[in-house]
Structure formats: C-alpha cells, structure tokens
Structure 1
Amino acid sequence: MPEQPRLRFAYVAGVTPGKWIRRWEERMPHVPLQSFMCDDAAQLEVLRDGSADLSFVRLPVDRDGLHVIPLYEEQPGVVAPKGHEISVFEEVALEDLAEEYFLDVAEMGGPEMALQVVASGAGLVILPMPVARHFNVKDTVARRLTGAVGTEIGLAWPSDSTSEVIEEFIGIVRGRTAQSSRQPSARQEKPKKSPPADRRGGARAGAGKKPAVAQRYAPNPDKGRGKGSRKKGRR
C-alpha cells in the first residue's frame, strides 16, 4: 500500500509561516502539513536527520547537498534594557552606540537567553527585528538599527529529495498562483467533459426532410399561357 503523502517543514525564530500554511490548506487539503520551530544551530540538522523536508533558514548556510533559494531580507535591530536612551527614538544608528557594550548572542546560548541577560542591564544585543519581536522579553526595548549588516531568510531542502509535493510548497512560498503552469497540481490532466446527452428521446422532428427553400420571385402570371394568349387592346 503506497505511503500517504505528507510535508514537514521547520523554521527559525522570526519567520511567520502562517500565510503559507493557509494557502497550502486551501490548495492541498488532502496532504497533511506539519511545521515546527527550531534554533538557528539546528536549521540544517533537521534536514540532515530527516526531521523536516524543508527548512526556513537564516542565511548564510553551508549549501553542500542542498537546494537553497533566498526569500527576503530582515531588518536589523538593537535591544537594550527598558529605560535605555534608545527608547526615545524610532531607529538608531550603529555609530551612535560606539560606547555601548554588546553581548555575543551565541555565547549567551541563543537569542532568548541573550535577551534575558539584556533585561538584567548587562549590555545590548544586535538581532534581526523579527527575532526581537518574536521573543518580546519583558523589561527590554527594541529599535531598528541602521548601519548594521542585515540578515536574510531562505528556504532549503535536500537536493536529492525533490518531489511534486515539495515543488508545490516552494511555488506557494514564491507566490505562484494555483493556476500557474509551474505548479504540479495545475499540470495534472483534467478529465475531458463528454457532450451533453440528447434528452429528447428520438430523432429531431422533420429529420431527413429537405429544408424548405424560400421562393425568391413571385410566380409569373403569364406562365403556362399559349402564344398569343395575351389580350390585345383596341387600336
């Protein structure tokens, strides 16, 4: 018995896959879709160990054995303790923070732990704004940061496991419509409609008869009379 198709994908913090999930459920309701969030450190591991078929990753990544397509860039941000002077601005330039102490997110054990340390007043961190909004740690303030290198989100999957189900999901993420010829679901041959049956139950009335031809000219009143039959008037 063939295995029921399904699709599993992972995503890092800051990615909001809700719109893609909704489109999948509208177009492919017969194929279950499972999703889960993973740490940046595990964004490729979930593909290597088979936990996920695709993964929304934060670039750059090691592309060996993978297909990777860039999707969009993330706005960089800076997070400081509540009450810090950056809270009075909508965005901050990196050069204006030269005197600040910045924490290393990796050394802190990831963004969530780093934000907890920031809340204690130990320093600031630079993170993608979607990540800062996702965790939204109490007693911290996040602002857009200019002059810093941004990050980019991409979609990755093993190069040896491309299937029609995976292609369908990639098309949805890239914004293709359901009618796009590049979508596997749209390429499937649709059954041809048979002509409607004749419900009259018999031959058409008058079938076999020659159609009447309209008489083009009026009949000649003199037709059929002998020669000289025309009446002569008096001279």
Structure 2
Amino acid sequence: MTGPEVSPSFRLVYVPGVMPDKWVRVWNERQPDVPLTLTQVPAGPAHGMLRDGEADAGLVRLPVDRTVLSAIPLYTERTVVVVPKDHLVTAADSVTVEDLADDIVLHPLDDVLGWETLPGRPALERPATTADAIELVAAGIGVLVAPLSLARLHHRKDLTHRPLEDAPASSVALAWPEAATTDLVEDFIGIVRGRTVNSTRGRRPQPAQEKKPDRKQERKKDGPAARNAARGRRGTGGGTAKNPRRGKPRRRS
C-alpha cells in the first residue's frame, strides 16, 4: 500500500527590498489548493536555499550561479546615497560619486552592489548588515550607498537619500533550480510575466465557453429565398396552400 499523498505546496524565498505581494495575491487566486510559503532571507543565503532544494523559486538579486539556477531578470533598481538630513548633498537633486570623495562610505558585509572601487574614504570596520550601516549613518559615522528599495526599507525620519549617478546598480530576478522546473514553477513564472489564466503559454488553460449562435448571421446565410419559403410555411394550414386575396373587392355601381 502506498502512503497518503502529500498536499502540494510552493516555497518562495525573497530578499530584503523585494515586494512579492502582488504576485502572491494572484497565486492565491489561481491556486487556492496550493499554499504558498513565503520566506524573507538575506541575498546570499537565498541562492544557497535554491541550490540545496530548500525553496522552489526565489526573488533574488543578480548575479546567480547559472550552472545550477535558471533566472529571469525582472528589473534594475536605482542606486541612492543615504545621508543625514543636514548633509551637504541634500541641497542637490542628484549626487555623483565624486561628490562623496570626502565622506566615509560604509560598506556592509551584505552589500549587493558589487563595487570594484568604493567611493569616498573607507571606514575602520565594515558593518555586518545594511541595517547596521543605517544606524551608523544616523549616528553621523558616514554615508551609505544602496539600492533604493533598501533605503526605503530601513527608512528613518532623521535620514534621507539622493540618487547617485555613475554607481553600480542591483538587478532583481526570479530564479529557480534548473533541474527542478516543475509545473508549479511554470505557473509562477506565468504570473510574474503577467500572463492571463487563459494564456496559451500557461500550463492550465481554461476551456473556452461555447458561443451562442448568431441569429443575424444565420438569417444572412439563409438568404431571401429561404426566408420567403419560411413565410409560406407559416401561412399554410393543413398542408394546402391558400390563394392570397389580391387587393380590395370592387363595388358595383
């Protein structure tokens, strides 16, 4: 005897700054019998969970290991510099890397921008996380360069941000283990790409409803002869045709 069947589920991981709500909402509408487990994890561990089969798919930051993971790029974020509200750069609408030459630029260990050369002056120590770096910015220790979504995620009333030109940018992608491209993964890909439930590229197209016959088209197809014959049939009784009366009877003078 075989054991009881395990109910299907879909495990989705996402990195800080990504907002998966709209896709999860569509999933719950289309797959009410398949619960979606949503877990937020740091950028580095998210890749490992996908490689180890601990998640079915993930909204992660590029790059990913393309030898084991498939990925669909979704969007690229704007890069900003997070500063205290009284910082000099707040007088400008945007900032260049050269504008940070005299600042201590914090470089957290979970940085997702992949700098070749960090602008400004280095700090004595690297903060462990972006959240820790934000606290140091608030304390006046330095400034932080990060994707816009992370600046918003860690927003504080005493801090602000400005777009940073000529800086690396972070791209977000949907990734999954290449060897485990399941039907549920294909369903989620369709949702992220905006396919409708009846899309021909979707996995479960809904059966098309039978169209009602168009009476006008049928009458056009029948033609005048058929319509005249139909009128003749409606005017007969008992199978014997009656001669129609032609005009009114003439009165005798």
Q: Does the 8 Å CA contact 1:81/1:140 hold for their aligned counterparts?
A: yes
Aligned counterpart in structure 1 of residue 189 of structure 2, from 157, 170, 194: 170
What CA distance in whole angstroms lies between the structure 1 residues aligned with 2:209 and 2:61?
A: 46
Task: Give the aligned partner of residue 73 of structure 1.
Answer: 76
**Cα distance in 2 for residues equivalent to 1:213 and 1:184:** 61
Which of 172, 176, 179 aligns to 1:153? It is 172
Partner of 2:113: none
Deviates more, 1:118-127 or 1:69-78: 118-127
8 Å Cα contact 1:13/1:38 also seen in 2? yes
1:182 to 201, 212, 216: 201
Higher alpha-carbon Rg: 1
Q: Quick one: distance in 2 between partners of 1:214 and 1:91? A: 92
C-alpha separation in 2, matches of 1:14 and 1:213: 85
- SS of equivalent to 1:102: strand
CA 1:73–1:192 in 2, change beyond 3 Å: closer, same or farther? Answer: closer
The structure-2 alpha-carbon separation of the partners of 1:32 and 1:100, relative to structure 1 and needing over 3 Å to count, comes to: same
In structure 1, stretches of 5+ residues that fail to align are 194-210, 219-235
| Other structure's SS at 1:105 match | coil
Q: How many Å separate the matches in 1 of 2:240 and 2:37?
A: 72
Deviation at 1:192, TM superposition (A): 9.2
Instruction: Spell out the pairing of 1:1-235 with structure 2 (5 A cutoff).
Output: 1-106=4-109, 107-137=126-156, 139-186=158-205, 190=207, 212=239, 214=241
SS at match of 1:80: strand
Q: 5+ residue gaps in structure 2?
A: 110-125, 211-237, 246-253
Instruction: Using the TM superposition, name which of 135-144 and 48-57 deviates more.
Output: 135-144
CA RMSD, Structure 1 to Structure 2 (Å): 2.4
Task: Look up the equivalent residue of 1:31 and give its one-letter code.
Answer: V
Determine helix, strand or coil for the equivalent of 1:3.
coil
The answer to whether the Cα contact below 8 Å between 2:74 and 2:174 also exists between their aligned partners in 1 is: yes
CA contact (8 A) 2:59 2:174 kept: yes
In 2: Cα distance, 1:159 partner to 1:216 partner: 82
Q: Would you say the 8 A contact 2:81–2:145 is kept in 1?
A: yes
Deviations 1:123-145 (A, max 9, x none): 11110001110121453222221
What do the CA deviations read for 1:134-190 (whole angstroms, capped 9, x no partner)?
A: 12145322222122121100011001111111110111011111111111121x6x4
| Alignment partners' CA distance in 1, 2:191 and 2:166 | 33
Higher normalized helix content (fraction of residues) = 2
Paired-residue identity, %: 40
* 1:19 CA displacement: 0.5
Give distance in 2, aligned partners of 1:154 and 1:84.
Answer: 34
- Distance in 2 (alpha carbons) for counterparts of 1:69 and 1:216: 79
- The whole-number CA distance in structure 2 between the counterparts of 1:50 and 1:138 is 40
CA–CA distance in structure 2, aligned partners of residues 147 and 192 of structure 1: 54
Please say if residues 56 and 153 of structure 1, whose CA atoms lie closer than 8 Å, have aligned partners that are also in contact: yes
Change (3 A) 1:217 1:184: same
Mapped to 2, the partners of 1:121 and 1:191 lie a distance apart of: 63
CA distance in 2, matches of 1:76, 1:53: 29
Q: TM-score, length-normalised on structure 1?
A: 0.77
Matching residue's letter, 1:114:
A
